[in-house]
Amino acid sequence: MNGYREEETYKIIGICMEVHRTLGPGLLEIIYKDALEIEFKENNIPFEREKEFAIKYKGKILPHKFYADFIVNKDIILEVKAVKEFSNEHIAQILNYLKLANSEIGLMVNFQTKSLEYKRYAL
């Protein structure tokens, strides 16, 4: 990782690693999200969980929205997964979220693997 918001993304990944170390793999995504929420609060890191974003199409707001798992430090998207491995669909999802949320940094973390798997995306 180099460049923009490096210190903040390292801290978020460290918190994810702590949750993974404590809980291990094999649980549902919602459990990891609950634990992350506790860690963010205890570390005084500002976040919004299940942040809703409207999608515009030709000037109109579509009825369906998207929900980012977490927005950390006002604009870093954190997507939590509990899957065997990241898929092209997961990557496309976070890249779309970055564009729709007008965010420059996204982190995708996978708690299902033996060691925490994570990827950082930047626009």
Residue 80 lies in a domain: yes
The answer to whether residue 1 is domain-embedded is no
User: Distance between CA 96 and CA 6 in Å, rounded?
Assistant: 21
58 domain residue, yes or no: yes
Q: SS3 for 110? A: strand
pLDDT tens-place string over residues 34-67: 999 999 999 999 999 999 999 989 999 999 999 9
Gap between the Cα atoms of 66 and 57, Å rounded: 14
Is 70 a domain residue? yes
Percent of the chain clearing pLDDT 70 (strictly above): 97
Q: Which domain holds residue 27?
A: 6-122
Q: Residue type for 118, please?
A: Y
CB count in 10 Å sphere of residue 28 = 10
Tell me the two tokens of residue 55: 């999608």
Asked if 104 and 4 touch (Cβ cutoff 8 Å), the reply is yes
Q: How many domains does the chain have?
A: 1
Q: Confirm whether 86 is domain-assigned.
A: yes
Q: Which of 90, 87, 106 is nearest to 98 (CA)?
A: 106
With respect to residue 12, please indicate whether it lies within any of the assigned structural domains.
Answer: yes
pTM of the model: 0.91
Residue 30 lies in a domain: yes
Residue 72 and residue 56: Cα distance in Å, rounded? 23
DSSP secondary structure letters along 46-72: -EEEEEEE--EETTEE-S--EEEEEEE
What is the chain's mean pLDDT, rounded? Answer: 93
CATH number at residue 101: 3.90.320.10
- pLDDT for residue 111: 97
